[in-house]
Structure 1
Amino acid sequence: MRKFLVLCLFMFSLSAFASDLPERIPLKSPTRSFTHEFEVSILEGRLWYRPKATPEAASPQWKLLGETGLPADSSWHLFGLGKFDSPASIAELSADGDNLIAIGSDSYVYYMKWGTRKWINKWGKPFSEKLRLPENIRDWSISHRGPFSGGYNDIDGNFHPISVIGHGVTTLYVLNEDGLNILYADPWLPADFSHRICGPLKNRFRARALAASASTIFVINDAGEMYTRLADYDTMGNNPFLDYSYERRVRNIPPEKDVRTLPPEEWKKQPSIPKHQGQITSAITILQTGRENDSRELRVEGVNTQRDHGFFSKPINGETWIFTQTDSPLQKPLLSIRDDVSDWGPNLDQTLTGSLRLGWLFETQEYNVKLKNFNPLCSGAALAVILGEEEAEFPFFTTTSSLTARKMEGAIVLADEIKVKATKNKVLQELINNMFGESSFIKIKVKIDKSGAVKVRSHSLFSLFGKVNMEFAGK
């Protein structure tokens, strides 16, 4: 009888808790989130979930996730060795695709796949370790570019399906305390946040909030300006096990179709929400709606002109924002939108001067060169070769992904405009022939020493010594 009463009391308590859970979750927050299949929420430090409602059926009842609503180790361990203890409670969460991340009261990251319902408390390769979010961050978000999105399109439109082995790409993004740096962790990389993504406007955009879904990042600043970009370890050209090329073309025939075109997608400025439609906060959400890059929806919390609470939304490539009323309390304060934005980060672009040597041993040509708008943290510089009173400029790309990287790879690209110009300039044509041969790009390795001096050399699988060598003095 006593056990029966305890059970009844427990069931009554769960019902009482469930009544305090949200009726719907249109916007993600540190305590509420959703995927294309599930909704999840924190209540009294425990995780609750339910399948998403469909047009044919009402929202199902909320249930505790697992037996206790806490991350628990369900894997088999010999003599219990290596088994992790559940945290006392859950402080924050984030969900996307097949991923759920919970931050425990112990500040550690706990990671679950919805498909298996198995939790892990360690992160990274080759040696898994416990992972904590950096201190004093502005925002964070988990992303899963998995079976629902199918893969991604490179800048030439070539579609690259997700890996069957890895079941997609998982990325944990973090916006640091000054709003200028986007850091990330990946389960296949060492367990830290040393990798980074260059922010909008070559890292001068100071974001207030960040959201992510299917490797697409969405940021907003205090002036209500918004940018999006699809960027993860694979798409940015950093994965050594994938094939990349800077040759711009559509690839339809195997095995060429597995080659991913670089450079990666750049940041796209999203249209601002017009003042005549209402006001917004910095609470933002991005969600995946189907396959390929453009299947994303953006949502921004705000009020309409009648001061009704809700959110503005649009497809990622759409131009028009539509307001949906929810009457839910606002998560964040309304922004005071200004026409002028002065809170930019520092401009870290540099123009370096140096020398270029083409050829090997005694058959070499030398040129004076400039490396314009070079920023070690952000790709997109220009190599200017001095030809008498003229300069020939070539796009100069790098694939930096680390805060501390002093070595990186990239390419110098022969643009079509330069090819056309060379038809009327013999000196330029000779430079192109000696530098590029029959190729449209040169793969390079870049090294920056402690003084800031930059060394660049071409590299290939068939040569120990680069045909193209450059040195630039640091500033």
Structure 2
Amino acid sequence: MRSFGPLLIAAALGIALGSASSANAETRAESCTALSTAGTVNALDTVPFTQLPPQGSLEQWPAAPAGLLPARVHLRSERESFNARYAFATRGGQIYVAPVAGGAPGWRRLPLPACFAGRVVAISADDDELVAIDRERRVFTLDNALKGPDLFNWSRRWGPPLWSGKGRTLPRDVAAWSWSVISPAEDVTFHDTAGNAHAIGAHKDSHIWALRTGGQRLTLIDPWLPNDDSYETCGPHRGRFRAVNVSASGSTVFVIGADGDLFTRLYDFDIAGHNPIFFRYSYERQRTGDPAAPIQLPSPPWVRQPKVPGEITSAISISKRGVGAIHRTLRVEGRDRRGRAGYWEKDVVATRSSAWRFHRTGDRLRGRLLDNSPRDSSRRDLGAAADLRFAGAAGALRIEVADFNLRCSPARLLLRAGRGEPVELRLHNVDALRQLERATGLDDQPREQYGTIEVPPALLARLDEQPAAVRELIATKLGGRRFTSVGLRVTEHALRVTELDWTLRR
């Protein structure tokens, strides 16, 4: 019997381990199922965290192993992040949390649902929410991330209707990503290009901003929208700039190129004109200071930030500062003249290179060192343009949309009567609100967009000098107005302007 003892023990141990493994898998599956309906995320949240009574203490959770985590988190990244109250970090599949300013009680291990405990590979926090990505690239959301730890709770819900869908996974070709939240509690309002303040929707506006491989595409992944990759924004230089990293906070997107060029943009689904169900928009020039004015379109453009006057890496970070979505803190990892590691920092509204200030941290550099030319090199090595040409005829007019771009508006709308010179208008376009999934880009399935035709003021003032067919179109079909809303249906081969009954083809 003694000779068979080890085998029997091994067999028994195998059965026990197999049973434990099976039980763990079953527990994990049950946890994942529960998370598909759990959590308070998307609940109304309008009270600033500074006005909330404390709810529990971080000290209830186990302390992190000594030396595992930094004393402070300076840059928001996929391994470390922060909001106004807490710092978060992931190591070894776990998530740790500490007061944002450091000090007692130090880093504590955050209890995680069995569904993804020990399996976290990336995180990003902003405002009152934190997103975690597990090994299978599934998206999990922690709500109440600005409140007391007793109120922390997780959900896997994502997608329509209203953030109650079956869940989301992060696409495999995402080169970098960041979680952005703008809320009535922290930000209160945002300002449009007319300078008017608009209240932020009661349910916030939360997006994953995903920089895709190649650096030209920025996908907006919103928990209220279809679980696809169909919503994107136009990058700098009409989508041709190649970014190497992205960070986002409070609906302000921050990108950096391989030569150290920096751009920011205030942009989200509501600000950009995609959501006419809940908001009013207009391309007409709005009067500054009018509290009843609609949101001025087009949405704010990309702003080229001044170059950092020193050595930098690809690691960047943006975080909220104040209300109104005006001020944001930009940080770029780098070294000072003595070669000491740290980060450069400035306010997003500061326009001079001298505004960058260096802060030494003693941390090792995380990003890739860049060739940071002091001059604007953002047009170097631009990617291919995604502009398309559509053309057709309507009566005596030949019509051409010379540079239509799904993501980058506007396009030139050219009208030509006979052999005369073309008359140039503008066609503005943004993706329509939809709840059904569709492919990225164009195919044979019509893509609905909200369009606006703009007639230049100089053309309206001298309309009587234009060819008869042009005069008739502008005076009759467009009502003699500067801006006219139209519906667009776009496929890979055709652009249809529904109100005007135009079908233009490639």
Report the TM-score range of the alignment, normalised by the length of the smaller protein. 0.7 to 0.9
Query: Does structure 1 retain, via aligned residues, the 8 Å contact 2:262–2:305?
Result: yes
Shift of 1:151: 2.6
What's the counterpart of residue 333 of structure 1?
368
Partner of 2:498: 457
Q: Measured at CA, do residues 251 and 317 of structure 1 come closer, stay the same or move farther in structure 2, by a change above 3 Å?
A: closer
* Unpaired runs of at least 5, structure 2: 1-58, 433-438
Q: Which amino acid aligns with 2:429?
A: T
1:419 is displaced (CA, Å) by: 2.8
> 1:61 matched to which residue of 2?
105
Q: Which residue of 1 aligns with 2:319?
A: 287
5 Å matches for 1:30-109? Answer: 30-53=78-101, 59-64=103-108, 66=110, 68=111, 70=112, 72=113, 85-109=115-139
Partner of 1:324: 359
Equivalent in the alignment of 1:313: 345
2:208 aligns with 172
- Residues 10-409 of structure 1 mapped to structure 2, 5 A cutoff: 14-15=62-63, 17-53=65-101, 59-64=103-108, 66=110, 68=111, 70=112, 72=113, 85-113=115-143, 114=145, 115=147, 116-126=151-161, 128-146=165-183, 147-164=185-202, 166=203, 168-241=204-277, 242-250=279-287, 256-257=292-293, 259-273=294-308, 277-319=309-351, 320-337=355-372, 342-356=380-394, 366-387=396-417, 389-400=420-431, 403-404=440-441, 406-409=447-450
Deviation digits for residues 170-225 of structure 1 (CA, Å, limit 9, x no counterpart): 10111111211111221211233332112111211111001000111111111111
CA distance in 1, matches of 2:393, 2:218: 34
Sort the Cα spacing of 1:16 and 1:298 in 2 relative to 1 into closer, same or farther, 3 A: closer
Decide which of 482, 485, 488 is 1:440's aligned counterpart: 482
**In 2, Cα distance between equivalents of 1:94 and 1:336:** 27
Task: Name the residue aligned to 2:25.
Answer: none
Cα separation, 1, equivalents of 2:311 and 2:489: 47
Q: Percent identity?
A: 29
* Contact 2:63–2:106 under 8 Å retained in 1: no
Deviations 1:29-48 (A, max 9, x none): 22111112211112333222
Residues 309-340 of structure 1, C-alpha deviations (whole Å, 9 max, x = no match): 11112111212322222121100121124576
Q: Equivalents in 1 of 2:166, 2:285: separation in Å?
A: 40
SS of the residue corresponding to residue 445 of structure 1 reads strand
Q: Displacement of 1:65 after TM fit?
A: 5.3
In structure 2, relative to structure 1, the CA distance for the partners of 1:350 and 1:157 (3 Å cut) is: same
- Identify the residue that residue 75 of structure 1 maps to in structure 2: none
Offset of residue 346 of structure 1: 0.9
The change in CA–CA distance for 1:49 and 1:334 in structure 2 (over 3 A counts) is same
Cα shift at 1:22? 1.3
Contact 2:430 2:449 in 1 (8 A): yes
Long gaps (5+) in structure 1:
1-10, 73-83, 358-365, 459-467
Q: Distance in 2 between matches of 1:315 and 1:448?
A: 40
State the alpha-carbon separation in 2 of the partners of residues 136 and 425 from structure 1: 50
Cα distance, 1:342 vs structure 2: 4.3
2:435 aligns to what?
none
For residues 264-284 of structure 1, the C-alpha deviation after alignment (integer angstroms, 9 at most, x for no partner) is: 1221221222xxx32111100
For the 8 Å contact 1:377–1:403, the answer to whether it is kept is no
Q: Distance in 1 between matches of 2:194 and 2:131?
A: 33
Give the distance between the partners of 2:383 and 2:197, measured in 1 at CA: 35
Q: Secondary structure at the match of 1:399?
A: strand
CA distance in 2, matches of 1:39, 1:213: 15
Tell me what 1:81 maps to: none
Q: Does the C-alpha gap of structure 1 residues 60 and 422 become closer, same or farther in structure 2, counting only changes over 3 Å?
A: farther
Q: CA deviation at 1:449?
A: 3.4
Q: Is residue 419 from structure 1 mapped to residue 460 from structure 2 by the alignment?
A: yes
Farther off after superposition, 44-53 or 109-118? 44-53
- Which of 1 and 2 has higher RCO (CA within 8 Å, sep 6+)? 2
Residue identity opposite 2:122 in structure 1? E
Kindly indicate whether the alpha-carbon contact (under 8 Å) linking 2:453 and 2:484 is maintained by their aligned counterparts in 1: yes
251 and 333 in structure 1: CA distance in 2 versus 1, 3 angstrom threshold: closer
Question: Residue 432 of structure 1 aligns to a residue in which SS?
Answer: helix
Alpha-carbon distance change, 45 to 301 in structure 1, aligned in 2, over 3 angstroms? same
How does the TM-score come out when normalised to structure 2? 0.77
TM-superposition CA deviations, 1:83-126 (whole Å, max 9, x none): x7343332111011111011123431110121441110121112
- Whole-angstrom distance in 2 between the partners of 1:389 and 1:226: 43
Q: Which residue identity is paired with 1:212?
A: A
Structure 1 contact 385–393 (Cα < 8 Å) conserved: yes
Contact 2:272 2:298 in 1 (8 A): yes
TM-score, normalised relative to structure 1: 0.81
Q: Compared with structure 1, are the counterparts of its residues 420 and 272 closer, same or farther at alpha carbon in structure 2 (3 Å cutoff)? A: farther
Deviations 1:231-280 (A, max 9, x none): 211112112412222222127566x43x222221221221222xxx3211
Letter in 2 for 1:210: V
Which range is displaced more, 168-177 or 411-420?
Answer: 411-420
State how many pairs are aligned: 420
Q: Give the aligned CA root-mean-square deviation in angstroms.
A: 2.5
